[in-house]
Structure 1
Amino acid sequence: MASPEKKSFPLRIDPALWAEVERLAATELRSANAQAELLLREALARRGVKLAPPQGRASAARKDPESGS
């Protein structure tokens, strides 16, 4: 069940693309949903969009593999 502070919506996505998101998520010990959110945040950051850090215990517990922290 989605947390109350998160927006849920249906997503139409190429099955091969979603399979890669799931594979990457498993490698990085995330849910496919969390992985998709991370990838969207990274894509927006590359375009110069600044967002507040994600809220919640899972985001605080996990370290960003790219930053090495």
Structure 2
Amino acid sequence: MARKQYPLRIDPAIWEAVQRWADDEMRSANGQAEWILRDALKRAGRLPKKEPSSKDVPKGEEG
């Protein structure tokens, strides 16, 4: 999956807290930030629905 690169301006104390949380979860800080954003979007009902890929379609039901 392609990733969008984006320079993030954030309070250093916030990023430090994200880094500590990431360390606890054995993730990178970037991975943790993405997880936090994805979770917030899901809770708000704003997470985009992913398009089903060919591997998600049961055999025999291809379009």
TM-score, normalised with respect to structure 2 = 0.72
Long gaps (5+) in structure 2: 51-63
Aligned to 2:16, which of 14, 19, 25? 19
Give the superposition deviation at 1:50.
2.9
* TM-score, structure 1 normalization: 0.66
Moved >2 Å (runs of 4+): 50-53
Offset of 1:49 from its aligned partner?
1.6
- Across the two proteins, how many residue pairs are aligned to each other? 50
Which of residues 31, 42, 60 in structure 2 aligns to 1:34?
Answer: 31
Task: Tell me which structure has the larger Cα radius of gyration.
Answer: 2
Q: Which has the higher contact order (CA 8 A, sep 6+)?
A: 2
Three-state SS of the structure 2 residue aligned to 1:48 is coil
Deviation at 1:5, TM superposition (A): 0.6
Whole-angstrom distance in 2 between the partners of 1:51 and 1:27 = 28
The alignment's C-alpha RMSD in Å is 1.7
**What percentage of residue pairs aligned between the two structures are identical?**
52
Q: Which runs of 5+ in 1 are unaligned?
A: 54-69
